[in-house]
Chains A and B, each alone.
Chain A
């Protein structure tokens, strides 16, 4: 036997094995073929594992009721280790080997943007339940024929910023008489449109923006940032953070920065945040799409309760949307009567589904944010919670509020008289 020929042997064997698994086609004897949905997420990350968990939960609930149109839902999960290259390979496997009808993928914009051309190439619907970058829907708008397979199942950054402004207007300005803020965001693509919108709408809401600070998502020491902010004497810090969360919150508390933090803080949306920060989250205000104990829709509380029972923590923000995505895909397959990608896209565009945190519908081809979630009253709105003694207490919108504002003792709120 030749020495060089053997060189090929181990990976030829690997190939054989891989090819072998490819050929073992599942045999569906009696049951109608299940609707297979691929879930590509980051199971080591709080934001990612919520997607996988919620998808399984939603599928199990549908299957317990007999599936959709007699067909079971089968979730096939893939871990992408937060890597876009890994996610692309998982997508290929999902489509070419596991023959899924559609893919639900990731909370990281970079990963979703890397998958978008593959959704077009392999003609398979792709929904992201958690990425926020405006680029995702912009690509659909700019080249609809090619990118129509991608749906943005989460609010784009601009809408998130609008939600924070609405809350600021009602509570921070209206109730707490605040007049100024500093915008503090991680330097990432999703925060560019976020900050563009907030810099415009915060003054309209009544908060003068004294400074705008962007910092590297790799930052671990936030002391200089907080000192820089404090020197401007704002009434509040408007946050735009997702890659970081625990570290700035803990340092804010341990340094007793006397200014409240309010805004987007994705890590703070799940209960493990309290544990990870050892309670430093006390008093932090966070914009969320749903809270586990507020009935935004009739489905919110049952879903959040079932999730917490099964996984031990409350669903992270992407959990709600991932559960809804499983349902809207299943219904689209049923309406289309097939898993043909183009028909599925047509049906997904007609989505009108009351989900766990609002009514899910997508913007059309001629709207600015094609295939992004519709935002606003009657569709998806958000709410603001505050961390209080290990619990998230809902404060806004006021019609669903179930608690009162309270801050740790080191926070100095503006005095209404001094402000005048």
Chain B
């Protein structure tokens, strides 16, 4: 029974980690950008869903949809206002774009955190789940919402796979992550590919934020932690590798759940942090990454 419980609890939380991390790794794969305002974008989506569903009395369905949309807008604003100007700046040497993107998105993340705290306090908020109630699976009580989160995450991941592998735009995206220069030779505009990948990212981050708010709750105080955990999962899986990120999300999710159940809830994050350091030392390209 304990084993089943760990299996079920770990599954939902891992699916959510995976959804949050995929967009993050896609952007890195295609444009080499590590977006350190990631947690901020997730929390904007969560807070928007909560405010629209509750304060504006729009109900949880409209609120959740609006939250995802606002997450998308926040991602596009991040790209247009912070990342793109840095990538295009003539004053920044090419080989230093990375540190400028890191610093720029960090500052942007701080601005988001302060603004959210100013308008909505730093208390976490929660969104009413789309389906309430609990199911009993093999003696383990499982909220329907948890099952739904896992289902939504995996459907979205499936859709993403179809998009990348079965459409022309998706294949261009895939090609861009392997060889951006070759792609421009083929007549693709890199900037439209960047816009596409940021749009996908925005939807994924927004969805992850809203689902997080229905499941665990989210607030401005979680922003740093959310960014750090996406960053860790993505590096563990191999930067730029989508399947690697998914695998890593499950490794981290289950390792945390196992620790919380079998060792002590206080030590929850320690084993996955140590694992990360070990993997980075022994296999810097991550679990499924290519050098």
Contacts and interface: CB of A to CB of B under 8 A. Distances in A.
The answer to whether A and B touch in the complex, with CB atoms under 8 Å apart, is yes
Interface of A: 44-46, 49, 82, 187, 213-216, 218-221, 223-225, 227-228, 245-247, 250-251, 254-256, 267, 272, 275-278, 280
A256 B123 contact: no
Interface stretch (B79-87, B126-134, B170-178, B278-286): B126-134
B145 A254 contact: yes
B121 interface: yes
Interface stretch (B20-28, B194-202, B217-225): B217-225
A220 B121 contact: no
Interface of B: 5, 9, 13, 54, 117-118, 121-129, 132, 134, 141, 143, 145, 216-217, 219-220, 222, 225, 256-257, 260-261, 265-266, 268-269
26 contacts: A44-B117, A44-B118, A45-B122, A46-B123, A213-B265, A215-B266, A216-B268, A219-B265, A221-B257, A224-B260, A227-B5, A227-B9, A228-B261, A245-B123, A246-B219, A247-B216, A251-B216, A251-B217, A254-B132, A254-B134, A254-B145, A255-B141, A256-B134, A256-B141, A267-B123, A276-B124
A227 B220 CA distance: 27
A221 B260 contact: yes
Nearest to A246: B124
Nearest to A220: B216
B216 A224 contact: no
Given A256-B141, A276-B123, A225 B128 contact: no
A247 B141 contact: no
Contact of A246 (B13, B123, B256): B123
Contacts of B117: 44
A218 B216 contact: no
Q: Closest 5 A-B residue pairs measured CB to CB?
A: A44-B117, A224-B260, A215-B265, A247-B217, A250-B126
Contacts of A254: 129, 132, 134, 143, 145
Nearest to B134: A256
Contacts of A276: 123-126
Nearest to A280: B126
Contacts of B219: 246
A275 B54 CA distance: 8
Contacts of A245: 123
Contacts of B143: 254-256
A46 B121 contact: yes
A275 to B, nearest CB: 6
A16 B213 CA distance: 47
A46 B117 CA distance: 10
Contacts of B266: 187, 214-216
Given A246-B125, A254-B129, A254-B134, 9 more contacts: A44-B122, A213-B265, A214-B265, A216-B266, A223-B9, A227-B261, A247-B126, A250-B126, A256-B143
B145 A278 contact: no
B260 A218 contact: no
Contacts of A255: 134, 141, 143
A213 B268 CA distance: 13
